[in-house]
Structure 1
Amino acid sequence: MADVLDEVYAVIADRKVNPKEGSYTTSLYNHRKGIDKVLEKIGEESTELIIAAKNGGEKEIVSECADLFFHAMVLLAAKDIPFEKIKEEFERRRK
């Protein structure tokens, strides 16, 4: 599981330094609202996850959770925070 998350984060981080035309991630980085657009998406996806948890089934919950994770990863990359830091934090909390 961590491997696929590492791969997704690597693509997200790469889009920041190597924008790709037509890429959704690139569009977030280049949005006129800047980081505020990413933060809006995190808020939107959080709300959608809450609604899915209340009213939806497993498929909807998993989908919305993945959307939230994705946008959180975009935020990390936008702020130059390596994904490894999140894994380290979970490791620290596990002890």
Structure 2
Amino acid sequence: MTLNDLFDTIQARKVADPKSSWTAQLLAKGPEKCAEKFGEEAIEAIIEAVKGDKAGLTSEAADVLYHLMVMLAARDVTLADVLAELESRQAQSGIAEKAARS
């Protein structure tokens, strides 16, 4: 499964019966709940990274990617939007990009 496939599945769940899937339930609770779940998963991934648990980090990273995409879908931001933003940043260095934000 690619990230595009996963995002397409998440998008399809936006109109699904919340009783039919975890994703549909999460989306039905609104963008704030989706953001909260993303934050929880990010913290769990950080903990596994600090512990040096490769298997744990791998599992939590999958959760982070999933919950990030659910959060994006809840706010009608597409994976293509995010990828386009990343592509636009390739032309400049990370240091220059950070400086431009200040």
> 2:97 matched to which residue of 1?
none
* Bigger-Rg structure (1/2): 2
> 1:53 matched to which residue of 2?
49
- In the comparison of the two structures, how many residue pairs are matched? 91
TM-score, length basis structure 1: 0.85
The RMSD of aligned alpha carbons is 1.6
Residue from 63, 73, 98 that aligns with 1:77:
73
> 1:16 matched to which residue of 2?
14
Consecutive unaligned residues in structure 1, runs of 5 or more: none
By how many angstroms is 1:76 displaced?
1.0
TM-score, length basis structure 2: 0.80
Q: Report the Cα distance in structure 1 between the residues aligned to 2:3 and 2:17, rounded to whole angstroms.
A: 20
Identity across the alignment (%): 37
Residue from 41, 45, 57 that aligns with 2:37:
41
Q: Report the Cα distance in structure 1 between the residues aligned to 2:34 and 2:18, rounded to whole angstroms.
A: 18
SS at match of 1:17: coil
